[in-house]
Structure 1
């Protein structure tokens, strides 16, 4: 039996019909992702399903006693209420503290929020995470989520996907995050032209199925046109000609992409980018950078050296607050390093899309605003007009003549991005470019960037977009370095998880055994801070909470470094055993082993020093 049934449901917003005669149902255990253009009716559909909105016509029925949990895009928190009271709904401390599931939700969503703080003091992102934690702590038969990944970093999104996969309740989720859709949904609904098209599988299966439907529709249209031509010819000739019926074959999903070329002609783009940019784009030489200015705020880069070359397409990853936007501002020249230097190529022509959009003239028309930059632009091998590019990014027909002051936040972001591209830069810095963009616009943007020759550095929590437009990933892991990730986002999550596991083991063991054999009290890791609520102020060591956090991050970095050095030691020992009869190779391996051992001893001493400072 379905949990919810919709029968011939219709609803309109003013003169625009959003849903027309929609009939569908949600069964127990269904996991459904909802996609569609912004303003197409997705939020209206889930509001009707949740019972928050009554349709203009039709019937909506819920199972008796159905428990529905809805995360909307708005919240109605009492600004004077403490966060803990809102999230935990009056549960006694021993009740929630003894529940591992609740502790996990708090640690992953509210680990950096003081539970005694008032809701009115929270930022927009913190309010969003608070609402999500409140919903997940309670039990529901049907969970409905409207853009749950907003304000979550890649790590938190991966945790949320895993958490939802383990729950037994039915799930209905609206999101533009395509990786998340694939991770949590087994069916996809597309809200299009006031109807709901249904597909089996997550986002990837939906794309293939939709392409197959389009191919079949195209074949049917070609057959219809052929029949029409034959009918006209028969009318002209008189007696009908005998013809054989065309045969159509339905290809497997893989055949749809069998002859599809790679999304980017990497070699050609690199050659063109090198011609436009020369050899030097950005060289960071021994750079130290704090997020809040010289010696203020957390350390983002600590004597870091890195090179951004012509044609590089780099995805920059890190948790919220790790300093990703600070790195982009460093490259753009809006902030200067505390020490070291940034060498910028002489031919660099930069465009920087920040999270704070530049002010646009509200009285101008959309098309005029773009054409004042340039009327035509060359992207790859094709020339595009301003009007054509506007249409690709969702401004179709009359929308190009809308007044800028009437645009939504997402439309303004698209317009600003297009203005940057029309200026023909050869270096693009994009800070969360996917905010407020629907999936259809995202795919158009990705296609546009595929043909754009130049150096690209993008910061985004949209994992699908990040992996789609970049060729390699670089992470800020809290160690003051820009770390290459050959394994992409999966490697980043694995590194973060291994660091958290080490801290958790140290916290749970009572005492953590230091590399040199010295016992260090537990609670020196980030996990311990979370367990304590993250708001203990000055500890017994006499350090402030901020100093504790900085030392705990550094301790985690050293633990990860020790793990890596330990792995290198083991591999070198194995290789030495294999090369026992090759004395020349054995000597080289022995020299490398001594170097690794010396590095490990230095890191162990540093680890012991930090642990002693935290212990007081």
Structure 2
């Protein structure tokens, strides 16, 4: 139900409950989304983040409470996964964001581009569009496609995973929403595309609510953190660092209060169990208080435990794990993926593979593992290799099996480093209840599927772990535990990831696919590569005309080669003057952004009225956009 529009409050949830059986997933939720905010929703896998997004989008109705939307406010949501039913030309998929008008525009687009034009059908659909003055919306579709570098005539089904996500983002944007709701927007995007998306969303004028597992992306964007924990929603103004500090303080206070309560309850239980004489004279009021305490303790929802990961270790491999000598690989159409690449991978190395979508990371993995023959050169594998493979597309999970069957394959137990564990107990270490472990995996969330893949992977004895995008959909706590496990893994690791923090925390060296067959080898993780790489090392987001190579369905389209640094052009007087003044302008803008950000860290800031807080946020967004533009202009003039 729409209400009179408040210029600040876009969506308000008041006393909202939502459940799917068992304890309420969301309980008594009070939340307001205001203009100009960038809210990050966080919480454990299965806590209800996607559900809350759907409630905000109006796609779900609460069991109790109220969702109020200000009059005229438009909402759009980007789903976590690419929907199975999305098909047709890119223009058609994007136009779906306009509802029935979008369907007419898609039909007009299709008819007008046909080899033989059906003039009667074209006239009918044109009349429908003109009746609702819909040509402005057609222009908006075209502008959105251009803004996101997408080819409207491309076949959606033939695009890479990253490009499909860009198309779905365009579908969400084309309705010009006031509130943009994004569920794991960085899934299947490469590092260059994630950087682009960060910049795009920083300049987004509307309200933004997003869920992400990418900690660097979260830190770059969030102006407020909203946490879901055991059904309760709490709001933490400010950035991620402020949230982490204050959350730790709150958890400590909660733990102390719970310990005090449990101690008092134990004392009262001891009193009630005293002898006959004590029972004859006991205080009935005290008995009633004890009964109330028992009920309160019974209703307490404990914090979800942490995943307990342990990888089954195989026998030690030989010291030399993989040796590649002058390896080249090209597809029959002449596209070069690897050219004259040589490397030696030793036992204990943790290698990260990075590059744009389509640069050939999966192809390089297959070459190194001997699954794909090079067109030139040779790859030698070491002795005693036991390979365990994590597939980003979850193809190793059987859809007709439940979690137990996928891990144990008919057995009742698994053996981890010489110790037998019942499969249900083992899955509980990965936060699966007995009920979820027996449920069809079609009912599992994206995060649960990833945890199941990890459970299956680590049950296999291995000395060479190959992990292709293992971080998608995992919550922050599980990500940090996975980092610790991989850092202590005694075998060798090959890791493909677009999670910049994860790469920094795990790998010891990096292989970067830099275009035109070049593979650069660098010491350290992502940040080390940034400092050492030739510029530019990764192409910007690519156009929608690119496709998955027919020869490897799990390799995305190939980026442009890194351009050679052009000779610096001579600047005219006006541009030279602007370049001279830019450093001072950038310094002033940085100071303004820092001051505005620092003000938000002051607890007194949030005692101001809502209008002042929102105006402050809008000003910070504007200054940050000016700073980004100044840096871009400086780079252009310097070039």
Normalised to the residue count of structure 1, the TM-score between the two structures is 0.65
Superposed displacement of residue 302, structure 1: 0.5
Maintained 8 Å contact 1:367/1:387: no
1:429 corresponds in structure 2 to: 466
- Structure 1 pair 8–222 and aligned structure 2 pair: CA distance change class (3 A): closer
The answer for the alignment partner of 2:414 in structure 1 is 375
Residues 420 and 529 of structure 1: CA distance in aligned 2, closer, same or farther (over 3 Å): closer
Residue-by-residue CA offset, 1:344-365 (whole Å, 9 max, x unaligned): 2213222122345235494576
Provide the rounded CA distance (Å) in 2 between the counterparts of 1:317 and 1:311: 19
Aligned to 1:47: 54
Contact 2:141 2:174 in 1 (8 A): no
Post-superposition CA distance 1:201-256 (Å, at most 9, x none): 444543443333222223334445566788899999x9xxxxxxxxxxxxxxxxxx
CA contact (8 A) 1:83 1:118 kept: no
CA distance in 2, matches of 1:402, 1:84: 33
Distance 1:488 1:187 in 2: 29
Q: For this pair of structures, how many residues does the alignment match?
A: 478
Name the residue aligned to 1:310. Answer: 347
Secondary structure at 2:536 match in 1: helix
Q: Which residue of 1 aligns with 2:319?
A: 279
Residue 342 of structure 1, aligned match among 376, 379, 402? 379
Match for 1:6 among 13, 24, 40? 13
Q: 1:403 and 1:366, CA in 2 relative to 1: closer, same or farther beyond 3 A? A: farther
Structure-2 residue corresponding to 1:219 = 256
Closer/same/farther in 2, CA of residues 232 and 70 from structure 1, 3 Å limit: closer
Distance 1:399 1:180 in 2: 30
- Specify the SS of the correspondent of 2:427: helix
CA 1:397–1:436: 2 relative to 1, 3 Å: same
Q: Measured at CA, do residues 28 and 297 of structure 1 come closer, stay the same or move farther in structure 2, by a change above 3 Å? A: same
Is the contact between residue 378 and residue 384 of structure 1 (CA under 8 Å) also seen in structure 2? no
Query: Cα deviations across residues 364-392 of structure 1 (Å, max 9, x unaligned)?
Result: 7617833849733249xx99775554223
Greater relative contact order: 1 or 2 (C-alpha under 8 angstroms, separation 6 or more)? 2
Render the CA deviation track for 1:458-480: whole Å, top value 9, x for unaligned: 11223333333323332111142
Per-residue displacement from partner, 1:152-172 (whole Å, max 9, x unpaired)? 111111111122112232211
Tell me if the contact between 2:319 and 2:346 (Cα under 8 Å) persists in the aligned partners. Answer: yes
2:41 and 2:49 in contact (8 A); partners too? yes
Gaps of 5+ in 2: 1-7, 103-134, 279-308, 547-556, 569-639
Q: State the 1:25 CA deviation.
A: 0.9
Change (3 A) 1:349 1:84: closer
Aligned Cα RMSD in Å? Answer: 4.4
Retained in 1: the 8 A contact 2:523–2:529? no
Preserved CA contact (<8 Å) 1:22 1:195:
yes
Structure-2 change in CA distance of 1:481 and 1:156 (3 Å): same
CA distance in 2, matches of 1:347, 1:361: 32
- How far did residue 426 of structure 1 move? 1.0
Q: CA–CA distance in 1 between the matches of 2:233 and 2:519?
A: 45
Match runs of 1:494-509 below 5 Å: 498-499=535-536
1:459 is matched with: 496
Give the C-alpha shift of residue 199 in structure 1. 2.5
Q: Which residue of 1 aligns with 2:148?
A: 106
| Corresponding residue for residue 255 of structure 1 | none
Partner Cα separation in structure 1 for residue 437 and residue 503 of structure 2: 28
- Give 2:44's aligned residue: 37
Calculate the TM-score normalised by the size of structure 2.
0.63
1:198 is the counterpart of 2:235: yes
Q: 1:297 to 1:422 in 2, by over 3 A?
A: farther
Identify the residue that residue 477 of structure 1 maps to in structure 2.
Answer: 514
Determine helix, strand or coil for the equivalent of 2:479.
helix
Rounded Cα–Cα distance in structure 1 between residues aligned with 2:357 and 2:153 = 22
> CA offsets, 1:392-423, max 9 Å, x none?
32223443444667656654543343233222
